[in-house]
């Protein structure tokens, strides 16, 4: 597959630019006042730095230490363990992975990287497999509708991924090998069927190397991370005839880099960041319709410049402004699709330019107004859809009001303009009652929305699918009430919620056997989230979260009394972790349970529930080196998250990490 010289030139230009700036700054020995590192705080929920106790929604912050100790293979694996989240996963490392929040679609979850929107106008959802985990400092999860602050797509919630600005050590080397247990397996069908013996190459299925360089010049911080991944993804699964087969055409070859400079001044800072990714993979298809020759290539370029001031013109104002450019390229080629004699050959390119601005006004003692705007422009060039573009602009205001030392209310309002849709007005109202220094009770209600994507509206008509240019935006109404207590040794959070969605955009098969999207109707999602983290002793900790969602489809003839579940949303989902630390050794056992998920138009067709056990062992050999062993799915559970897409069985990762 040929690679565009333009894309490669753009990637290397970004690398050269940032490296040159690092050299220049080092040579000039620029000095500035030292800044103090703050502990992780929530910044997405109310657009200002807040303690989770003072945020009206149910919020989770996953810090860097928790990420490193989790044993998660990727961001999707990490997020799937959190309350309220269900990941849609097609199996192999590098295959598409999207997420649902409180039963939402993937396009109804807004994903940010360092506060910058990642969702694009073509597909809406975000493929988490294309976001490297190595460069992540922390992840903030904000549940519930948040369009009053962030605009479209934040119907189910917001995921903000914060990347590293530096590290305690100057150099990082991380080497990882992944293994499947060798097994006998079958290839071919009918008279061509062949029985193959176990192959020891399964023990070296996946390799990944990560290199990091984090120099500091006085208070100027540099972050450079480069990683390469090779995977055969040759795991074993039962086909529709219950024969053991090796997953074919699931290989992955990937490389990515991120480079940034963080320059703090007396009361402000400047952060320049550039990243690039090239991902080439086989696309094996489903068990029912395999695609042994299909392949896909993704390329991403992401650059941003952020300026932040705590004293803008006057000490009464601060300012946070970010400009960014994003480029995404996707090429899919299948020379021999099973349903057609014509090869599939699709290319999609998206260019996005944008700017976000947020400001606080500190002129009142009990009232803190927060306001801002964002503008972004998407241009899609597609061999399937053609050339489409969309201009979006939004204005918002939020007022944090302390009625007393214990009671605060937080109203917000936002207006959004789209060049291809009428304007949308969204709002929210939150309240916080502080029960003490370590606990609070919260109530939050909001109106949110999502505009149709280019794929929804303009996908060309074929024998199988067709877009719908007459779609209307989805509208969602959410309410939640919760209690949170954080005493240092114990974190307890209980939240009940409900969301009602109208004009749901859903792709369905019509009477002409073609799949097309429509504003299908309504859906209702009541539920409960329970989270507990308890330090039993200085060495023993337990974590558990439970999600209950009893969804209802209310479209057509379906009513509440019909008791029809929304497809693919499990009623019950549980994650628990038992963690034991002794000096330099750490041991963790993790249990994941996901209930059955209905797949058809009745409550009779469903995917089976599954139960996964993971083991993690870590030996901190010295201050510089660490050995980690992660065993995923230790009992080799056979399960599917998407119908006819088998998930991997037992997978053993051995990782050596060196920091100097």
> Can you spell out the DSSP letters for 274-309?
EEEEEEEEE--B-SSSB-TT-EEEEEEEEEEEEEEE
Task: Give the pLDDT band (50/70/90) at residue 188.
Answer: confident
**pLDDT score recorded for residue 36:** 38
Residues 6+ positions from 645 with CB-CB distance below 8 Å: 89, 90, 91, 286, 287
What is the per-residue pLDDT across 429-462, written as a single tens digit (0 to 9) for each?
A: 999 999 988 999 999 999 999 999 999 999 998 8
Average confidence (pLDDT) over 261-282: 95
**pLDDT score recorded for residue 6:** 39
Average confidence (pLDDT) over 21-38: 41
**pLDDT score recorded for residue 25:** 44
| Cα gap 461→475, rounded to integer Å | 27
**pLDDT score recorded for residue 40:** 53
Question: What is the pTM (predicted TM-score) of this model?
Answer: 0.91
Residues 6+ positions from 507 with CB-CB distance below 8 Å: 465, 515, 516, 517
**pLDDT score recorded for residue 70:** 86
Closest CA to 11 of 329, 282, 252, 322: 329
Judging by DSSP bridges, how do beta strands 606-607 and 597-598 pair with one another?
antiparallel
Q: Which residue has the tokens 């719908």?
A: 468
Judging by DSSP bridges, how do beta strands 109-113 and 157-163 pair with one another?
parallel
| Cα gap 454→465, rounded to integer Å | 14
What is the number of residues in the chain?
Answer: 660
Q: 532 to each of 484, 495, 545, 575, how far by Cα in Å? A: 10, 12, 6, 11
Closest CA to 122 of 417, 447, 347: 347
Q: Which of the residue ranges 3-12, 404-413, 464-473 would you say has the lowest mean pLDDT?
A: 3-12
On the question of pLDDT at 548 being above 60, the answer is yes
**pLDDT score recorded for residue 601:** 60
**% residues pLDDT > 90 (the chain):** 72
Average confidence (pLDDT) over 321-332: 97
On the question of pLDDT at 510 being above 80, the answer is no
* Residue 571 CB-half CA count within 13 A: 11
Bridge partners, residue 535, by sequence: 541
Average confidence (pLDDT) over 471-476: 94
Bridge partners, residue 359, by sequence: 371
| Cα gap 283→291, rounded to integer Å | 7
DSSP-based three-state secondary structure for 485:
strand
DSSP-based three-state secondary structure for 12:
helix
Q: Which of the residue ranges 38-42, 96-100, 480-484 would you say has the lowest mean pLDDT?
A: 38-42
On the question of pLDDT at 256 being above 60, the answer is yes
* Residue 80 CB-half CA count within 13 A: 22
Average confidence (pLDDT) over 607-635: 95
**pLDDT score recorded for residue 488:** 81
Q: Which residue has the tokens 């100057």?
A: 170
**pLDDT score recorded for residue 52:** 83
**pLDDT score recorded for residue 338:** 76
**pLDDT score recorded for residue 35:** 38
Q: 315 to each of 36, 47, 271, 479, how far by Cα in Å? A: 19, 19, 21, 36
What is the per-residue pLDDT across 208-232, written as a single tens digit (0 to 9) for each?
A: 999 999 999 989 999 999 999 999 9
On the question of pLDDT at 38 being above 60, the answer is no
Task: Compute how many other C-beta atoms are within 10 angstroms of the C-beta atom of residue 315.
Answer: 11
On the question of pLDDT at 8 being above 70, the answer is no
Identify the sign of the CA torsion 333, 335, 340, 345.
positive
Top CATH class of 5-659 equals mainly beta
On the question of pLDDT at 1 being above 80, the answer is no
Mean of all residue pLDDT scores within the chain = 89
| Cα gap 185→239, rounded to integer Å | 11
Closest CA to 456 of 416, 417, 501, 421: 421
CA dihedral 109, 114, 115, 118 (to 10 degrees): -40
Main-chain dihedrals φ then ψ at residue 503, nearest 5 degrees = 60, 40
Average confidence (pLDDT) over 94-111: 94
Q: 60 to each of 82, 84, 149, 398, 609, how far by Cα in Å? A: 8, 11, 18, 21, 26
Task: Give the pLDDT band (50/70/90) at residue 34.
Answer: very low
| Cα gap 424→231, rounded to integer Å | 45
| Cα gap 111→118, rounded to integer Å | 6
Q: What are the residue boundaries of the structural domains of the chain, listed by start?
A: 5-659
């Amino acid at each position: 597959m040929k690679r565009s010289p333009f894309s490669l030139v753009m990637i290397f230009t970004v690398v050269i630019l940032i490296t040159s700036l690092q050299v220049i700054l080092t040579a000039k020995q620029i000095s500035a006042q030292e800044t103090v590192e703050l502990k992780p705080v929530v910044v997405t929920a109310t657009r200002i730095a807040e303690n989770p106790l003072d945020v009206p929604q149910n919020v989770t912050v996953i810090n860097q230490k928790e990420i490193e100790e989790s044993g998660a293979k990727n961001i999707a694996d990490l997020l799937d363990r959190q309350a309220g989240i269900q990941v849609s996963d097609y199996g192999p490392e590098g295959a598409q992975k999207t997420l649902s929040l409180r039963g939402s679609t993937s396009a109804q979850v807004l994903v940010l990287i360092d506060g910058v929107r990642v969702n694009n106008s073509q597909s809406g959802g975000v493929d988490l497999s294309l976001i490297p985990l190595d460069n992540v400092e922390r992840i903030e999860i904000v549940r519930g509708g948040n369009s009053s602050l962030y605009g479209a797509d934040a119907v189910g919630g917001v995921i903000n991924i914060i990347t590293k600005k530096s590290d305690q050590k100057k150099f990082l080397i991380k080497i990882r090998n992944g293994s499947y247990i060798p097994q006998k397996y079958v290839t071919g069908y009918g008279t061509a069927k062949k029985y193959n013996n176990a192959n020891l190459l399964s023990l070296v299925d996946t390799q990944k190397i990560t290199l990091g360089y984090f120099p500091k010049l006085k208070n100027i911080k540099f972050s450079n991370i480069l990683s390469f991944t090779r995977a055969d993804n040759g795991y074993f699964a039962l086909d529709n005839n219950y024969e053991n087969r090796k997953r074919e055409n699931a290989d992955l070859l990937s490389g990515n880099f991120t480079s940034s400079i963080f320059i703090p001044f007396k009361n402000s800072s400047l952060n320049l960041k550039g990243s690039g990714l090239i991902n080439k993979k086989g696309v094996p298809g489903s068990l029912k319709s395999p695609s042994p020759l299909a392949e896909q290539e993704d390329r991403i370029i992401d650059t941003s410049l952020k300026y932040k001031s705590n004293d803008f013109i006057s000490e009464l104002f601060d300012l946070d402004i970010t400009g960014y450019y994003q480029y995404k390229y996707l090429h899919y080629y299948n020379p021999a699709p099973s349903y057609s004699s014509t090869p599939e050959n699709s290319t999609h390119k998206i260019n996005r330019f944008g700017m976000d601005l947020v400001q606080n006004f500190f002129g009142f003692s009990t009232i803190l107004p927060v306001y801002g705007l964002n503008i972004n422009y998407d241009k899609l060039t597609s061999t399937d859809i053609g050339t489409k573009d969309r201009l979006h602009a939004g204005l918002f205001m939020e007022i944090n009001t302390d009625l007393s030392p214990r009671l605060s209310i937080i109203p917000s309002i936002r207006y959004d303009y789209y060049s291809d849709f009428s304007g949308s007005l969204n709002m929210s109202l939150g309240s916080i009652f502080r029960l003490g220094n370590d606990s609070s009770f919260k109530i939050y209600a909001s109106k949110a929305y999502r505009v149709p994507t280019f794929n929804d509206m303009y996908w060309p008509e074929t024998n199988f699918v067709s877009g719908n240019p007459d779609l209307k935006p989805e509208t969602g109404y959410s309410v939640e009430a919760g209690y949170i207590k954080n005493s240092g040794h114990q974190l307890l959070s209980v939240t009940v919620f409900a969301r009602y969605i109208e004009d749901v955009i859903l792709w369905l098969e019509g009477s002409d056997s073609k799949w097309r999207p429509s504003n299908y109707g309504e859906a209702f999602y009541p539920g409960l989230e329970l989270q507990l983290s308890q330090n039993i002793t200085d060495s023993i900790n337990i974590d558990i979260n439970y999600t209950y969602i009893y969804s209802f489809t209310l479209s057509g003839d379906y009513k509440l009394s019909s008791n029809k579940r929304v497809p693919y949303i499990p009623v019950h989902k549980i994650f628990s972790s038992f963690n034991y630390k002794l000096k330099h050794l750490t041991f963790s056992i993790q249990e994941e349970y996901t209930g059955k998920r209905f797949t058809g138009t009745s409550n009779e067709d469903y995917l089976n529930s599954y139960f996964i056990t993971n083991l993690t062992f870590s030996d901190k050999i010295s201050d510089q080196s660490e050995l980690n062993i992660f065993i995923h799915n230790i009992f080799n559970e056979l399960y599917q998250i998407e119908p006819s897409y088998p998930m991997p069985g037992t997978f053993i990762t051995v990782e050596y990490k060196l920091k100097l």
